[in-house]
């Protein structure tokens, strides 16, 4: 793998994708505490990311470092258990590698999930937020550098979260009795949680939730022409919204408790994708 992690030769990506145990229609990137979703796929086959030469190792608790290929309602799904974060020292291009691999394996739809802090009082811990748009406060972009063959140089981001998929998610949530509200996600570098002043600033810019992931993956998906559905699990009130202290163990615990609803919602939507 090249040191730049920019894969100008798509042949390298295709060779890496051949190690994935199956083709896919839909790819899923699973956030903190949400990896158990992949265990519910039928006819599942998995591979450790350590078996793919050059694949970045996830070092964060709650991220298993596995790629699982299976089916859900007749739809072929490729699930990544073990998100890669820039705060682990990786480049934006490395963070976006799962998306590029999934696309090389045939996926045309990307479902991204994450744990986020609630910057808006509209959301409480355990709520699910349908990502309507994002703000890139990571100030990094996986498309920077040599253009990768097959990717748009200047992708349109005005509808990077697919409206049809969002409406599908809202209908599914209504049918299942799941509370789901749209919101704007702000992404920061981490690994520190935000200060109360930073949260107030982000809220002033229109952010409802704050995370340390997701945006690089969505940018790469937009460049590849993939349709994207994003769902955040609000695991805590962000700093300054309440006086509660923040810790990653609680993030994982709340995400784990919300996983059943997220599974029902995501599987309901995926089952409708044609």
Instruction: Please state, in angstroms and as integers, the Cα–Cα distance from residue 89 to each residue in 56, 57, 189, 215, following that order.
Output: 10, 11, 10, 16
The DSSP line for 237-250 is EPBTTBS----HHH
Considering all CA atoms of the chain, what is the largest pairwise distance in Å, rounded to the nearest integer?
A: 51
| Options 5, 24, 63, 125, the catalytic residue | 63
Are 86 and 95 in contact by the 8 Å Cβ rule? The answer is: yes
- The residue with tokens 């209504």 is 174
Residue 258 is among the residues annotated as catalytic for this protein:
no
Q: Parallel, antiparallel, or unpaired for β 26-30 and 109-118?
A: parallel
Paired sense of beta strands 128-136 and 109-118, if any? unpaired
Q: Which is the catalytic residue, given 1, 40, 136, 248? A: 248
Residue with tokens 């394996």: 105
Measured CA to CA, the distance from residue 231 to residue 44 in angstroms comes to: 23
Tell me if residue 43 is catalytic.
Answer: no
Annotated catalytic residue, options 46, 213, 232, 267: 213
Clarify whether 134 is annotated catalytic: no
DSSP 3-state of 67:
strand
Active-site pick, 115, 221, 237, 239: 115
Q: Which of 85, 90, 103, 223 is catalytic?
A: 85
Active-site residue among 212, 226, 238, 255?
212
Q: Would you say 73 and 267 are in contact if contact means Cβ atoms under 8 Å apart? A: yes
Q: 87 catalytic, yes or no?
A: yes
115 is catalytic: yes
Catalytic (active site) residue 236 = yes
Distance CA 244, CA 236 (A): 9
CA distance 30 to 15: 24
Closest-CA residue to 146 (of 15, 5, 16): 5
CA dist list (Å): 159 to 85, 116, 131, 195:
24, 21, 11, 30
Asked about 159 being catalytic, the answer comes back as: no
Q: Annotated catalytic residue: which of 17, 24, 27, 32?
A: 32
Is-catalytic flag, 248? yes
Tell me, yes or no, if 2 is annotated catalytic. no
Active-site residue, from 6, 12, 48, 87: 87
Of 12, 88, 170, 250, which residue is the catalytic one? 88
Q: Active-site residues: which are they?
A: 32, 63, 85, 87-88, 115, 212-213, 236, 248
């Amino acid at each position: 793998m090249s040191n730049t992690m920019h894969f100008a030769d798509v042949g390298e990506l295709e060779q890496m994708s051949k190690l994935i145990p199956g083709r896919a229609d839909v790819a899923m990137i699973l956030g903190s505490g949400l990896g158990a979703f992949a265990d519910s796929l039928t006819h599942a086959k998995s591979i450790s990311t350590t078996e793919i030469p050059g694949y970045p190792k996830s070092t964060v608790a709650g991220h298993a470092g596995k790629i699982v290929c299976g089916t859900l309602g007749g739809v072929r799904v490729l699930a990544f258990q073990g998100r890669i974060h820039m705060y682990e020292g990786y480049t934006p291009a490395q963070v976006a590698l799962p998306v590029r691999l999934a696309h090389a394996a045939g996926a045309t739809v990307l479902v991204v999930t994450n744990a986020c802090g609630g910057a808006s009082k509209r959301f409480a811990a355990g709520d699910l937020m349908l990502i309507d748009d994002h703000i890139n406060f990571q100030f990094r972009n996986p498309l920077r550098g040599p253009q990768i063959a097959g990717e748009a140089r200047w992708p349109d981001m005005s509808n990077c979260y697919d409206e049809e998929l969002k409406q599908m998610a809202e209908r599914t949530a209504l049918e299942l009795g799941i509370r789901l509200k749209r919101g704007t996600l702000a992404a920061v570098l981490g690994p520190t949680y935000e200060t109360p002043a930073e949260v107030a600033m982000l809220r002033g810019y229109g952010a409802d939730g704050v995370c340390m992931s997701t945006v690089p993956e969505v940018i790469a998906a937009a460049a590849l022409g993939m349709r994207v559905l994003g769902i955040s699990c609000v695991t805590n009130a962000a700093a300054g919204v309440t006086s509660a202290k923040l810790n990653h163990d609680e993030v994982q615990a709340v995400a784990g408790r919300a996983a059943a609803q997220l599974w029902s919602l995501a599987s309901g939507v995926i089952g409708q994708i044609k």
